Amino acid sequence: MSDIKLFRFGEVVSELKGEAVQVEKSLQKLFEGNLETLLGVRLLASEYSTGPAHGGRIDTLGLDEDGTPVIIEYKRSVNENVVNQGLFYLDWLLDHRKEFQWLAMEKLGHEAAKAVEWSAPRLLCIAGDFTRYDAHAVKQIARNIELLRYRRFGSDLLMIELVHAPKQAKPSNANQAVAAEGVVLPSVVSDGAALENKYKSSRIAYRLSQSSIALQDIFGAIKDYLMALGDDVQVKELSYYIAFKRIKNFACLEVYPQTKVVIAFLKVDPATVALEDGFTRDVTKVGHFGTGNLEVTMRSMEDFARAQPLFVRSYEAS
């Protein structure tokens, strides 16, 4: 059971009573109407049919800020086994990648369809509460399952609590190169070889292997620091960067051996930072991999130390 309490301070201190919406449809509409703000996920479909053979209906289907497919299932009651239900749909998704990419193309355009990241699709289970059996089960399953508990306080307050998430995003065994299924969308994915290479190799791992020992040390220190900011930090290695997230990304890390720099993109408003040439930069209108509008460039341990307060700000705001 959730032990989070919310109080209002005034002439007297009063507790705001939290409640979980029991009607699944109203909860689903609440999240789907604000999906990107709440979870960093772009909505692709609601009540998506998995076809007559499979006989299912996915509550919410989306694409997160890293381009990873996301299935969201809402738990109607404490006794409902929403985890098993979600795994059933996750297996369907991995067997229907072409269908998903076509959906992404229709809803978000060609670029979004080309950039779908299949290394570790996510399952988000949202409920008013979970049993201890739910929490135990997801720890035993080698899949990217996240448990999110919510509470409504009055008519205008919503709390979301991350109950469980894998520390390191787990790659799906069923999901290797997209080319393995022949997923090539005409006029959408024009270079099949480039797409195949994207999923067969990690550019950031290669760049790190080509970096000097000193640069590897800086990168490792930053990574360890970001992971240690909280027990709720999740790490996901993508092709061009490593993402650090709670419910949403708060930092994306890249390394460039030729210029001997580690670059982080943070969810910090650049307008609130005293920008320093060569150290921090506003990239709101500059194309880049990863998420966040504040770019931080680090060439030494001293730069890393200067960046730590910015890391904390981004983490706390995520």
pLDDT tens digits for 93-113? 999 999 999 999 999 999 999
* Cα–Cα distance for residue pair 291/248, rounded to 1 Å: 10
Report the Cα 54 to chain-centroid distance in Å. Answer: 27
What is the model's pLDDT at position 64? Answer: 95
**In the predicted model, what is the mean pLDDT of residues 40-62?**
91
Residue 42: pLDDT over 90: yes
* Cα–Cα distance for residue pair 111/136, rounded to 1 Å: 38
**In the predicted model, what is the mean pLDDT of residues 250-272?**
95
* Cα–Cα distance for residue pair 241/65, rounded to 1 Å: 13
What is the model's pLDDT at position 182? Answer: 42
What is the model's pLDDT at position 20? Answer: 67
What is the model's pLDDT at position 24? Answer: 59
Q: Higher model confidence: residue 112 or residue 180?
A: 112
Confidence of residue 118 (pLDDT cuts 50, 70, 90): very high
Question: Percent of the chain scored above 90 by pLDDT?
Answer: 53
What is the model's pLDDT at position 3? Answer: 65
User: Rounded mean pLDDT of the chain?
Assistant: 85
* Cα–Cα distance for residue pair 113/300, rounded to 1 Å: 37
Between the ranges 2-6, 11-15, 243-247, where is the mean pLDDT highest? 243-247
Residue 91: pLDDT over 60: yes
What is the model's pLDDT at position 171? Answer: 66
Residue 236: pLDDT over 70: yes
What is the model's pLDDT at position 22? Answer: 56
Residue 285: pLDDT over 80: yes
Confidence of residue 21 (pLDDT cuts 50, 70, 90): low
What is the model's pLDDT at position 179? Answer: 38
Q: Higher model confidence: residue 306 or residue 151?
A: 306
Q: Higher model confidence: residue 189 or residue 112?
A: 112
Q: Higher model confidence: residue 295 or residue 79?
A: 295
* Cα–Cα distance for residue pair 6/32, rounded to 1 Å: 25
Residue 173: pLDDT over 70: no
* Cα–Cα distance for residue pair 223/238, rounded to 1 Å: 14
Q: Higher model confidence: residue 195 or residue 261?
A: 261
What is the model's pLDDT at position 305? Answer: 95
What is the model's pLDDT at position 84? Answer: 85
